[in-house]
Chain A
């Protein structure tokens, strides 16, 4: 016999489907943010975006004429065609002034106040310059930007970013492009426990299971690029990450059981056939 879901279950499902990601007061139906770099072709990028329906896609700025993709503005035309909200980044900036100027240029070009704040402190690990990140975020916020700072999982750093007005923060899981997954689950879970603002895991995710895990821990979203772009099939991988992100979120909202040290039979023991009392 097949049982249908009762009305309460259906209501719970509807509640989950209305579980928007809210950043700076704006609602997004997806909790996946997708990067646009390193895809085999613009066509595959477009199909990956279509397959995963991200909340936002990240974009950047480089000197005109320096990159072939700028020719004839093909990327710009693709952005307009896809019509997905864009999140410009400040990738490659090594000083607060570089970040601020890049953000201002991005605001004019992309016509958006959103900015993914990247202030690189070390070129080998691409670790953010945590000592100057907070002052830079504060300057951008005072200039009217909606700042999503790429940062480490350090609790105090993230708290200070919130203190200066960041309404969400984006700790890394591992260094950019490594695909290693969360390297410090303890600190990330602690961060989730202590901070009440939306937390998006940005960088270092390599597998959909990584995305699912951090969402199960209560993170509000994930931002990734390389794990999709460098997959053998980026379109299928984009879809897989979208599903894993949604699954992890549903699991978090559903309330997971507590892990037990010893086995507990799931089938009732009462009435077990062939059982004889000693």
Chain B
């Protein structure tokens, strides 16, 4: 199954959950996640099943104005 994580293509097993994708990305806390422009709370990572072509955004704190 092909998904995009931060605009980079990743291949994951069918039925993979968001927590698998975060392992593939080696996501470092603190971070937050959105899939297809919808926020996914941290408490849902284990239940959130990914679908083909999902667009996953994993974001972290940076400086801002």
**Residues of chain A having any CB pair with chain B under 8 Å:** 35-39, 45, 58-67, 69-70, 73, 75-76, 79, 88-89, 91, 97-98, 100-102, 104-106, 108-110, 176-177, 225-226
Contacts of B31 in A (CB 8 A): 64, 109
Please measure, in the bound complex, the distance between the C-alpha atom of A45 and the C-alpha atom of B63, giving whole angstroms. Answer: 10
Expressed in whole angstroms, the minimum distance between the Cβ of B17 and any Cβ of chain A is 18
Contacts of A98 in B (CB 8 A): 37
Interface size range of chain B in the complex: 20 to 34
Contacts of A97 in B (CB 8 A): 37
Contacts of B60 in A (CB 8 A): 61-64, 70, 73, 76, 109
Please measure, in the bound complex, the distance between the C-alpha atom of A69 and the C-alpha atom of B60, giving whole angstroms. Answer: 10
7 smallest CB-CB distances across A and B, nearest first, come from: A60-B64, A35-B65, A105-B32, A225-B65, A104-B39, A36-B63, A37-B63
Expressed in whole angstroms, the minimum distance between the Cβ of A115 and any Cβ of chain B is 12
Interface residues of B in 13-65 (CB under 8 A from A): 25, 27-34, 37-39, 41-42, 57-65
Please measure, in the bound complex, the distance between the C-alpha atom of A168 and the C-alpha atom of B56, giving whole angstroms. Answer: 34
Expressed in whole angstroms, the minimum distance between the Cβ of A225 and any Cβ of chain B is 4
Residue from the set A36, A39, A89, A176 with the largest chain B CB neighbour count within 10 Å:
A36
Please measure, in the bound complex, the distance between the C-alpha atom of A70 and the C-alpha atom of B6, giving whole angstroms. Answer: 15
28 intermolecular pairs with C-beta atoms under 8 Å apart:
A35-B65, A36-B65, A38-B65, A58-B64, A59-B62, A60-B63, A60-B65, A61-B32, A61-B59, A62-B59, A63-B6, A63-B57, A63-B58, A63-B59, A63-B60, A64-B25, A69-B62, A73-B28, A73-B30, A73-B61, A88-B64, A97-B37, A101-B38, A105-B32, A105-B39, A109-B31, A109-B32, A177-B65
Contacts of B39 in A (CB 8 A): 100-101, 104-105, 108
Given A65-B6, A75-B63, A101-B34, are A108 and B41 also a contact pair (CB < 8 Å)? yes
Contacts of A63 in B (CB 8 A): 6-7, 57-60
Contacts of A177 in B (CB 8 A): 65
Q: Would you call B58 and A64 a contact (CB within 8 A)?
A: yes
